[in-house]
């Protein structure tokens, strides 16, 4: 990834080339104001070359897993810092990007009277079937999504891997909003509670620690009530 050491904003990417060559390509395009990522280019122009560092997050041995691993690191950093990346999907970097009216006008002019080499081309039945199967595979079923979410569960990272992650995240300041979102994502669910005296009901939710802070309760004691290890805490019992 490319890290802005001043703003702590990052750009996550992957490459099949050597890291040195890929970094040189990025720098060359940025120096000539021709980088395809406008956010990164504007930041480069504003802060200068000295504000950017190149960090290797992971070396992937199987090139077929490259996009999957890029998506993993993209999701990891999206939770804790701002990204220069335009899209949300590693396989489609500009997916979700909306063109300005001026950009649309230029594209329209460029496409006027353009003739396609494939005009009039008809696919064979075999090719149509292969294309159909590819499109079916791109629409993940729930089982496929569950498999993807668990694909790295229990995976152990090497010491070098951990060191790279530590160096990449070092110095990144997390805003209160980022911390809140991160807490909500990783917080566990809790059941409904009822107060024995007032009859008030707390509906099921997520983040028991936040609930305890808001109501002046002890999170550990409320956790004991939720797990059935305590009968009550300050009058609160399981609903």
* Residues 63 and 34 reside in one and the same domain: yes
* Predicted pLDDT of residue 151: 47
At a CB cut-off of 8 Å and minimum separation 6, what does 33 contact? Answer: 41, 45
| Alpha carbon distance 207, 192 (integer Å) | 13
* Predicted pLDDT of residue 78: 80
| Alpha carbon distance 78, 75 (integer Å) | 5
Give yes or no for a contact between 11 and 85, defined as CB atoms under 8 angstroms apart: yes
* Residues 106 and 12 reside in one and the same domain: yes
Decide: helix, strand or coil at residue 146.
helix
Task: Report the domain count for the chain.
Answer: 2
Q: What is the DSSP letter of 49?
A: G
pTM: 0.41
The Cβ of residue 192 has, within 10 Å, a number of other Cβ atoms equal to: 12
* Residues 8 and 57 reside in one and the same domain: yes
Structural domain boundaries enclosing 26: 2-111+157-169
* Residues 161 and 203 reside in one and the same domain: no
* Residues 73 and 17 reside in one and the same domain: yes
Spell out the per-residue pLDDT of the chain, length 239, in tens.
999 999 989 999 999 888 899 999 999 999 999 998 889 999 999 999 999 999 999 999 888 888 888 888 888 888 778 889 877 666 655 555 666 788 778 777 777 766 655 556 677 888 888 877 776 655 555 555 555 455 455 556 778 777 777 777 676 666 777 776 666 666 778 899 999 989 899 998 888 888 888 889 998 889 899 988 888 999 999 98
Last residue of a domain, one of 134, 169, 204: 169
At a CB cut-off of 8 Å and minimum separation 6, what does 98 contact? Answer: none
Decide: helix, strand or coil at residue 201.
strand
Structural domain contains residue 134: no
Dig out the tokens for 145 from the structure: 């999504």
At a CB cut-off of 8 Å and minimum separation 6, what does 36 contact? Answer: 29
Structural domain contains residue 140: no
In 3D space, the residue among 61, 51, 58 whose CA is nearest the CA of residue 74 turns out to be 58
* Residues 163 and 225 reside in one and the same domain: no
DSSP string, 170-198: TTPPPPHHHHHHHHHHHPPEE--EEETTT
Give yes or no for a contact between 86 and 28, defined as CB atoms under 8 angstroms apart: no
């Amino acid at each position: 990834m490319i890290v802005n050491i001043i703003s702590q904003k990052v750009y996550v990417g992957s490459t099949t080339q050597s890291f040195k060559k890929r970094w040189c390509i990025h720098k060359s395009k940025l120096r000539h104001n021709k980088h395809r990522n406008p956010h990164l280019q504007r930041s480069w122009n504003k802060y200068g070359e000295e504000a950017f560092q190149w960090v290797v997050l992971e070396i992937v041995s199987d090139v077929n897993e490259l996009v999957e691993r890029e998506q993993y690191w993209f999701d990891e950093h999206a939770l804790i810092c701002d990204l220069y990346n335009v899209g949300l999907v590693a396989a489609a970097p500009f997916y979700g990007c909306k063109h300005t009216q001026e950009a649309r006008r230029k594209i329209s002019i460029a496409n006027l009277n353009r003739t396609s080499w494939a005009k009039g081309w008809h696919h064979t039945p075999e090719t149509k079937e292969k294309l159909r199967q590819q499109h079916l595979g791109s629409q993940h079923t729930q089982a496929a999504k569950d498999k993807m979410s668990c694909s790295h569960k229990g995976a152990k990272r090497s010491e070098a891997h951990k060191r790279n992650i530590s160096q990449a995240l070092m110095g990144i300041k997390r805003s209160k909003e980022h911390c809140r979102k991160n807490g909500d994502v990783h917080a566990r669910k809790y059941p409904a509670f009822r107060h024995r005296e007032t009859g008030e009901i707390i509906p099921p939710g997520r983040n028991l620690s936040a609930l305890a802070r808001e109501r002046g309760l002890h999170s550990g004691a409320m956790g004991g009530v939720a797990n059935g290890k305590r009968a009550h805490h300050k009058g609160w019992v399981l609903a």
